[in-house]
Amino acid sequence: MIRALRLAAPPVLAFVALNLVWEAATWAFEVPLYLLPPPSRIAAALFEHAGTLLRATAVTCRAAVAGFAFSALLGVAAGVLIASARWIERAVYPFTVFLQTVPLVAIAPLLVVWLGFGTRPVAVAAFIVSVFPVIVNTVTGMRSTDPALLDLFRLYRASSGARLFKLRLPSALPSIFAGLRVAAGLAVIGAVVGEFVASYAGDDAGIGMLALTYSRESHTDRLFAVVGLASSLGLALFGAVSLASHLTLRRWHASEQDR
CA 206 – CA 117 distance, rounded (Å):
11
The window from 65-73, 182-190, 195-203, 231-239 that contacts another protein (CB under 8 A) reads 195-203
Residue 199 Cβ vs another protein, minimum distance, rounded to whole Å = 7
**Interface with another protein, residue 13, by CB under 8 A:** no
Residue 69 Cβ vs another protein, minimum distance, rounded to whole Å = 24
Q: Which of 123, 107, 109 minimizes the C-alpha distance to 72?
A: 123
Q: State the sign of the Cα–Cα–Cα–Cα dihedral 16, 19, 23, 28.
A: positive
The window from 124-132, 141-149, 179-187, 238-246 that contacts another protein (CB under 8 A) reads 141-149
CA 184 – CA 205 distance, rounded (Å):
21
Residue 197 Cβ vs another protein, minimum distance, rounded to whole Å = 6
**Residues 223 to 252: which contact another protein by CB under 8 A?**
251-252
**Interface with another protein, residue 122, by CB under 8 A:** no
Residue 256 Cβ vs another protein, minimum distance, rounded to whole Å = 10
**Interface with another protein, residue 205, by CB under 8 A:** yes
CA 137 – CA 173 distance, rounded (Å):
9
Q: Which of 166, 122, 137, 125 minimizes the C-alpha distance to 78?
A: 137
**Interface with another protein, residue 216, by CB under 8 A:** yes
Instruction: Give the list of residues 6+ apart from residue 137 with CB closer than 8 angstroms, or none.
Output: 79, 175, 176, 178, 179, 180, 182
Count of residues interacting with another protein (CB under 8 A): 48
In this structure, the number of other CB atoms found within 10 A of the CB of residue 128 comes to: 23
The residue ranges that bind another protein (CB under 8 A) are 32-35, 109, 112-113, 117, 146, 148-149, 151-158, 162, 166-167, 170, 173, 196-197, 199-205, 209, 212-220, 251-254, 257
